[in-house]
Amino acid sequence: MAEYRLRMKELPSADQPRERLAALGAGALSDAELLAVLLRVGVPGANVLQLAQQLLAEYEGWPGLLNADYADLCRRRGLGAAKAATLKAAAEVGRRMLVAGQDARLQIRSPADAATLLMVEMGHLDQEHLRTVLLDTKNKVQQVTTIYIGSVNSAVIRVGEVFKGAIRLNSAALIVAHNHPSGDPTPSPEDVLVTRQIVEAGKLLDVEVLDHLVIGRGRYVSMRERGLGFPMS
């Protein structure tokens, strides 16, 4: 006998995600319920809440789902272009709110502070991103900027691009960060070479390079703490 699945409109009103959100607030909803609100409708054989549960399991939670490739999401049964666009837009809104909220008040006192700002998103990217965290004279975050997407190596990087934002904002210092999509943050010899080039350029431009973080999945490496690419103090 085929499994019987309730359609959303057959559920008690109090159990439907949008009605629960209206009555109790978004904070009371589960991950699947929040996703169901974004998706709006399900597919034949699965109501929208069941579809949301399937997607969160398939992509191993929010990070995997929201960082998934747009084209792949479009091809996934039950999503398509409109729902994929909604998910990508929601992810970007969340990212901008996080950056705006943290950037406005965050003071970087240690590599861990910078990692906290960056690691939630960067640890799950499926391509390498090189970013800079621009800092004022009190090490307060002015801006986080993506410099490159793709392989981070000395043949590709133009050092002037790394410092363009810092010069525009008259930053006193910056932190460089890039991710390893493999999840392993162990620095490569190429990472060390790139770091050395950026540090030397910072001296010429009077912008101190405080650190270069290599970010993996749930882990990071501070190249300054490891003495890689930075002059020995």
Q: Give per-residue pLDDT as tens, 135-150.
A: 999 999 988 999 988 7
Are the C-beta atoms of residues 139 and 200 closer than 8 Å to each other? Answer: no
Fill in the DSSP letter of residue 177. Answer: E
Which residues partner with 128 through β-bridges? none
Q: State the Cα–Cα distance between residues 181 and 173, nearest whole angstrom.
A: 27
The pLDDT of residue 3 is above 60: no
Which residues partner with 132 through β-bridges? 145, 176
pLDDT range class, residue 100, cuts 50, 70, 90: low
